[in-house]
Structure 1
């Protein structure tokens, strides 16, 4: 009797995960977003926006009404090298993609007194004078946001930053409802639209 109940439960669980498999998509003018949920809990995410295309592969898990996504292979969103340069009166930020390419970004600086300074529409090198910076993060023009980086040493004032401009899923949760999925945008906020099967 226990074996029969176990077989029935396993069959139900297997069929429920297979029912979520398939391609979910959303289309607008100059915009296409889709995710394909495959067997063995693998996924392929595709975003076409104007002239850009992003493809991310990874693993997914479903728990109740949530779809959890993890990129594979996993990548760091930001790598920072800190140094102490002789000029104590200014902080310098050299920002590039991980491929070594300059790009447009906004730099958000949190000061030790709690104030926030935003350096907008920068490219390559940015400097700021006479500020005691506690931490910072970046956003690119596509809305991809780095994690906040806390500065290690009080005397460090030169920062080489290598930013991942490709989408990275790190235990990111999307809402799953019947035959549609509500995704998150590059900044992590839920979108106003659904990807439909």
Structure 2
């Protein structure tokens, strides 16, 4: 029992050490104003805030720290992408429709991967995108804000119509950042590490 109490005590001390608000802001007096922050609470929950131009959102979730690795998971968790496959019209054409979870069409970039290992990318699309059918293997979608879906692998053999629902708010799913020396090296919405840090206030 004493060992359990000691471990719990050390766990709470560790959380208190890392708990707090980590923040970055830039261009405060311009239209390109960026403010990003994450508040780590001692009970292993967090609140992440992001504001840039017309994009603004908040994500809540749970975190764990192992050495200098900060792992984040949104709560409640949301699907990053939902795809409804079907067949429609001509076999010679493939149709892609991308909407957000409010059923609104959005501007997006779509990257297609084919069985012959070729790749096609279509940028700044809105509404239906119709392409010549080839042996499609997989694809991913990226919003103009940089939010990138996981790669989706085609399930059906004779499908050419893809209705895609995209989560346009950020989702954390086992996402790993680096935390040390009162700073956090974090990733952008495309999953890549950024060239600036969140600093503890």
- Structure 2: how far apart are the matches of 1:174 and 1:47? 16
Aligned to 1:83: 86
Aligned to 1:18: 16
- Structure 2: how far apart are the matches of 1:63 and 1:186? 23
Aligned to 1:142: 145
Q: Of 120, 123, 126, which aligns to 1:120?
A: 123
How is 1:93-112 mapped onto 2 (pairs within 5 angstroms)? 93-112=96-115
Q: Which runs of 5+ in 1 are unaligned?
A: none
Count of matched residue positions in the alignment of Structure 1 and Structure 2: 195
TM-score, structure 2 normalization = 0.92
- Structure 2: how far apart are the matches of 1:181 and 1:84? 46
Task: Give 3-state SS (helix, strand or coil) of 1:11's partner.
Answer: helix
How is 1:25-64 mapped onto 2 (pairs within 5 angstroms)? 25-29=23-27, 30-64=33-67
Classify 1:6/1:160 alpha carbon distance in 2 versus 1 (closer, same or farther; 3 Å). closer
Deviation digits for residues 76-99 of structure 1 (CA, Å, limit 9, x no counterpart)? 000000001241110001111111
The answer to whether structure 1 residue 181 and structure 2 residue 154 are counterparts is no
Classify 1:6/1:129 alpha carbon distance in 2 versus 1 (closer, same or farther; 3 Å). closer
- Structure 2: how far apart are the matches of 1:79 and 1:7? 44
Q: Given that residues 15 and 43 in structure 2 are in contact (C-alpha distance below 8 angstroms), is that contact kept between their aligned partners in structure 1?
A: no
Q: Which runs of 5+ in 2 are unaligned?
A: 28-32
Aligned to 1:153: 156
